[in-house]
Each structure stands twice: as structure tokens, then as C-alpha cells.
Structure 1
């Protein structure tokens, strides 16, 4: 019996490891796979008014990602009360971080360097994702630092395409709902937003990330509508030489949320058609 228990223990995956790391006056939470040495790193940015613990719990990303062999770092934005109601400076959004001109680009570079050195993670390129204000910074960082990023996934946020140019080829996944009133799919002023600036439309983000790839891009689309939840999904793939370089997932009737996440207070526009974590990991796997 003892040998059987030992054999089962050896066959089971080791549990993920979680730790909070102080980095100067700020911090990041990191969740590691069972074997972190050489693991790829995902940087996951919370939305405006959130924090690392809140986003980790609401998205459920760490569990799915660490099981797939990724490490996930959840950096903390900045706020007037330091550890609460945190935001990112994504250029035209949002809140405290934007008003104070916080250099979040430098902070993310510091997190990437520290996590790689401290935990022995893969050094050659990271994956970036974020929700809302976090998506804005994730896309902006990827656009400005293509050499550091293997792929980016933005959920319910659009970078300032009027002032940000994508400087190199970065594969991008964009997930956004057409009924999003916080960051409207077609652009413009958001209801209850932390900024009074008009947001860029999703189509301009698609155009910006496709631009560095040049010509010869092939586009196909498909629909997903298996569940009667008031939403349906359109998936548009843009490929070059057989590789999907950009995937646009449009949630018809979808509101401002992380698909598959645990945002209980959102009653409407919450799709069950897709899971953001599964879609993201599937896309990242195309760009190892």
C-alpha cells in the first residue's frame, strides 16, 4: 500500500507555488509551475481599481497557466492609497497612474528582469495580457517593446492608437464585447470610466498590430453560438504563411468582463461561449 501511495504521488502534478515579491515601493505576485526553471512567463495586468490578488482570483488565469507550464506574474499598479484602487498609466488611461505620469513601462521591465533572475524563468521574451486598463498597458508595452514580447492578449481594453505605433511584429489576441459600455467596442467615451478621454475603436488596434507584418495576410472568420446566454462569438484569424498572427474574438452582446472569469456582480453580457484563459493559452501556444 505504501508503494502504491508513493507511485500515485509521483504521477500527480506538483502544486503551483505562489509568492509576493517586493520591488522597491511596489510589488508583484507570482505563481509558478511545479518546475519553474526555464518556464515561459506571462505578465498579467489587473484592471483599473483592481490589484494583483483580486485579478488572480477573478480571472482564474494562474491555475490554468501554471498547469500548462507557465509562470504568471501579477504586478501591482499604483494608487493614492498605495495598495488599493490601483491603476496603470496606459497613455490616455487611467486615473492616478496616468495623472501622475507613472513610468509603468519601466516598472514592467523591472518585473520581467527580476522574475527571470529570481526564479530561473525563460529570458527570451514574455507573454503579456491584461483586463481593461491592464489591457491598454499590455498592448501599449507590446507595441513599444516588440523585442521583449512573444505575444500579447488584451481583454476589454484598447490602447491609444492615435499616439502609439507598433514598432515591430507582435502576435496579438484581442477579446472584446460589442455591449461593453466601459470601453466601447467602436470607440468613444466610456460610461463610469476612470478617464474622460475617448477610447480607440477595436478596429484601429487590429490595424495597428497588423501593420508591421506587411502584405500577404489571409483573413478567415467563424462563429460560435452554442449556448442560449444572449451572446454569440465571432472569431477572426489573420494569418501569414500559415501562422495566425492576430486573432480578434468579438463577443456579440458581451459586456465589460473577462470571459469565464468570476465577476459575480455582472448580471448581463457575460458570455459562456468562450473562456478567456483557454483562448489565450491556445493562442500563446502558437507562438512558443
Structure 2
């Protein structure tokens, strides 16, 4: 399949420049022709790159988001610069260029689902291209997804559990349908993938207790209770032992699921006054709309969870 790469910044031989450490905090844009569509992804390189292979974190935007907004507001970019990993910001598809974008999770949402866009095979191809083009530690590829992007992350873990060292889900669900009798659940993988999940208990878009979304963009989508979905995934991945603790004077409840091996691990953070947003987010419109008093910062916590996870 024909591919092109458009580089923002100094046009040097890619492999040599990265390994030798001459790239300093550069954003690069990779374009891939997939199923007749030109797909764009922002690749953010940390300020200092040494003679070593780097972890990669792919971050998927929510419904109607895009890669640039995700890179600039979720907080993963700042953590990547500090910790020295490559952060990747793919874009979904939509009727317009780089706006009103969505991902096809199999049950949601928008343009991508309505047009049966094969986002799973696209992301697989993207990962292969990134591994071939950058000094990537193939045992440390991670996924992060918000809302509709979290649904895609669930799908990728379901389809390719052998590829990912860990996954983070924010304000999302692996299941939904037109009503409670028509729920589609993304199948959990038959092997464990460490999972960290954040969800606000006052989320009106994907209701914590289950129910119809308040979002007109979700077209009357019904979601099952989030806690039930997370527990279903944890159990299927072999994490059956549960320990619950409270933090920040009860504002945050953590359920830790452990099981048969070190990859059967799920950390589920429930923010009692949290809504449909990224915990601890300081930039972007979503941050201004959040009313939660919890102080946990999802971006830092995600990397802390990822840091020691690998496929080795």
C-alpha cells in the first residue's frame, strides 16, 4: 500500500537523526493512504533522544476531536517530554478535514461508524509504520483513549492483545447499543493486558450507572453500567481478586483487580464528583467545564502505571 511521510521540521535521514539525538522536541506528521483515505497522525518526539529504543504511547481523541487538540490539551505531551517517550496522536475520520472526527468502535460513533471505517486495521498499519520509521521499543507500545477514542482502544486491545504492554481508558465504555436489549460488547482478549481506567460518577455522556447518553452526537446511545463493564473485562482477562480503597477523603475510589499473572491487572479509578472529562486536565474547553474537586492527574498516573509494563 502506497504511503507517504510529510516531515515538519528539519528534513534529515530519519533513522540517523533520531538515534543520534539531533531532534529536539519536534512534531512530525505521518500520512498514510488507507482504504482510499489519507489518514494523518502527529508524532511528538521528546526533547532529548539517546542511543536507545523508546516507548510509544498512542493517544486517541474523543468524538469530534482531532490530533492537534489532543496533543496540546490532554497533558500526555508534557509527560512525554519529561519522561522521554514518543507520543502519537492519530486522527479519526469525518465529513470535513481535521474537524468533527470520530472512531469506529463497532457500536459507536458518528461518521466513522456510519461509513464502516476500518480504524482497527488502520491503527495496526500505523503502528507498523512507526516501528519501521522510529527507534521504538516494540515491547513497550501503549494505548490511551478518551471517550470515543477509549472505545477504539478497547477494540485494539481485543484484536491485538499481543501488541500492547498496557492501556489507559478515560471516560469511556467497551459496550453500548440502541437500548438496553441491544448492547454490543467489545470482546475482552483471552490474555491479560494491564488496564487503567478513569470514570466520573456524574458523567452524563457515558452514565456511570448506565442509561442513555445526554449527548445528541451519540444519537440516543444506551450504555450499560460502567463498573459492570470494567469488572466483566477484568474477570475475562483473569483478574478476579478485588481490593477497594478510598483517596482524597472519598472523592476518588480505586478498585484494583489482580489475578493469575502480572498482566492480569486492572486499576479502576472512580471519581465521585467527576463528569465527562480528563481528570487533572488544565487546558482546553473540557477542563473549564469540569466541576470536580478531585486533584488526581490522569496523565501522570497513566505513565506511572505504564512505566514498568512491557511484553518481555
Query: Taking structure 2 as the reference length, what is the TM-score of the superposition?
Result: 0.80
Counterpart CA distance in 1 for 2:293 and 2:129 is 36
Shift of residue 111 of structure 1? 1.4
Task: Tell me what 2:234 maps to.
Answer: 210
CA contact (8 A) 1:233 1:273 kept: no
Task: Tell me what 1:7 maps to.
Answer: none
Gaps in structure 1 of 5+ consecutive residues: 1-13
CA contact (8 A) 1:43 1:75 kept: yes
Task: Tell me what 1:4 maps to.
Answer: none
Task: Tell me what 1:173 maps to.
Answer: 196
Deviates more, 1:70-79 or 1:184-193: 184-193
Counterpart CA distance in 2 for 1:193 and 1:155 is 20
Question: Which digits, 9 at most, give the CA deviation of each residue in 1:104-152, with x for residues without a partner?
Answer: 0011111111111111212235210111110111112112211111111
Gaps in structure 2 of 5+ consecutive residues: 1-22, 177-183
Task: Tell me what 1:287 maps to.
Answer: 309
CA contact (8 A) 2:211 2:223 kept: yes
Shift of residue 241 of structure 1? 6.5
Mark the CA change 1:286 to 1:271 in structure 2 (over 3 Å): closer, same or farther.
farther
Shift of residue 17 of structure 1? 2.6
Instruction: State the SS of the aligned residue for 1:123.
Output: strand
Count of residue pairs the alignment pairs up: 270
Task: Tell me what 1:151 maps to.
Answer: 166
Shift of residue 52 of structure 1? 0.3
RMSD: 2.1
CA contact (8 A) 2:94 2:111 kept: yes
CA contact (8 A) 2:192 2:238 kept: no
Query: Taking structure 1 as the reference length, what is the TM-score of the superposition?
Result: 0.86
Q: Tell me, yes or no, if structure 1 residue 263 matches structure 2 residue 281.
A: no
Instruction: State the SS of the aligned residue for 2:211.
Output: coil
Q: Tell me, yes or no, if structure 1 residue 233 matches structure 2 residue 247.
A: no
Counterpart CA distance in 1 for 2:168 and 2:156 is 12
Counterpart CA distance in 2 for 1:15 and 1:52 is 20
Shift of residue 193 of structure 1? 4.5
Mark the CA change 1:213 to 1:50 in structure 2 (over 3 Å): closer, same or farther.
closer
Shift of residue 15 of structure 1? 4.3
| Correspondence list, 1:1-288, <5 A | 15-24=24-33, 25-33=38-46, 34-35=48-49, 37-124=52-139, 126-160=141-175, 162-167=184-189, 168-195=191-218, 196-214=220-238, 217-225=240-248, 232-240=251-259, 243=262, 245-261=265-281, 262-264=283-285, 266-288=288-310
Question: More strand by proportion, 1 or 2?
Answer: 2
Shift of residue 268 of structure 1? 4.2
Deviates more, 1:173-182 or 1:263-272: 263-272
Mark the CA change 1:150 to 1:105 in structure 2 (over 3 Å): closer, same or farther.
same
Deviating above 4 A after TM superposition, structure 1's stretches of 4 or more consecutive aligned residues are 241-244
Counterpart CA distance in 1 for 2:271 and 2:201 is 6
